[in-house]
Amino acid sequence: MTSRQRIRTLTALGFCAPLVAAAAFGGATLASADSAPQQAVSAQQGAVSEVQLDARSGEPTDLLTTGSKDFAEPTDPTVSSKGVAKELYAAAANLDLSDSATCASGLDMDDPQSVTTCTVVGVSGEEETYYAYISPSSTAESDYWLYFAQDAPLSDAAATALNDGLNGTGVYPAFGEQDDVQQVLDPELATERANFVLDGVGRDDMTVTDVDGDVDLAIPEPVRGTAVEDGSGREVGVTLLPIPTTGETPGLLVSIDGP
């Protein structure tokens, strides 16, 4: 395993919207569901190719995230259908799909299996289907993240990994901008990359020691592993969940069992 080093910024890694950390969205004003489309972000070097992603069947072709958000009312852990649609439009709008975004229902943080179907309709009537999920935020002074799986819903196991109470570390690039990006990580490389993510989100009090199997960064399916708490030596389970996003450096969420 390579030595661990704290990663302090996402921009240094070229981790651009829509797959970004809270800092990149913190001061941004999101477009409404009826506003003009945002300029599409450029593809990042070393990203998983669209051909690889589209070749899969029964899996989302893309998984977008809004970054950290706050609830309108601190005592109300829900986001309305209109609020979810607004965030989807801001994340998914492009020159071809830019007319409107709607969602069937809202999302509830207290419902771990909470999911709603959303549709983005282009100016010519073309439609794209997304499945929206809510996840607790690990970013200080923020409440939640939204995730949008395009074309197919997440598996129950993947949805559970997203909404796992306060254990999720948040999404971080699986590779730095100078790294040789690989799509399928063997257990040794997956262990190394999981520690890279933990460092990136400030959890350098834990060290992942092993991962149970290969991790395919193009498929959002969880893989289990083990970590050790530095100092105490306490052993805990971890879950690695790939966050594949077309045209961008693949991300990875690491969830630690318990506090």
Report yes or no: 189 and 208 within 8 Å, Cβ to Cβ. Answer: no
- Top-confidence residue, 246 or 148: 148
**Is it the case that residue 33 has pLDDT exceeding 80?**
no
pLDDT attached to residue 214 = 98
**Is it the case that residue 34 has pLDDT exceeding 50?**
no
207-220 burial, b if ≥16 CB within 10 A, otherwise e?
bbeebeeebbbbbb
Sheet arrangement for strand 144-150: 62-69, 144-150, 127-136, 115-121, 100-103
Q: What DSSP state is assigned to residue 114? A: -
Closest CA relative to residue 145, chosen from 160, 135, 154 = 135
Least confident range of 32-46, 113-127, 170-184: 32-46
pLDDT attached to residue 259 = 64
- pTM value? 0.73
pLDDT attached to residue 258 = 74
Q: What DSSP state is assigned to residue 20? A: -
Per-residue pLDDT of 128-138, as tens digits, reads 999 999 988 86
- Segment 173-182 mean pLDDT: 90
Per-residue pLDDT of 75-115, as tens digits, reads 999 999 999 999 999 888 777 777 899 999 999 998 878 89
Q: What is the dihedral of CA 213, 160, 247, 44, to 10 degrees?
A: -70
Report the chain's mean pLDDT, rounded to a whole number: 77
pLDDT attached to residue 105 = 97
**Is it the case that residue 206 has pLDDT exceeding 50?**
yes
pLDDT attached to residue 210 = 97
- The residue behind tokens 């390579």 is 2
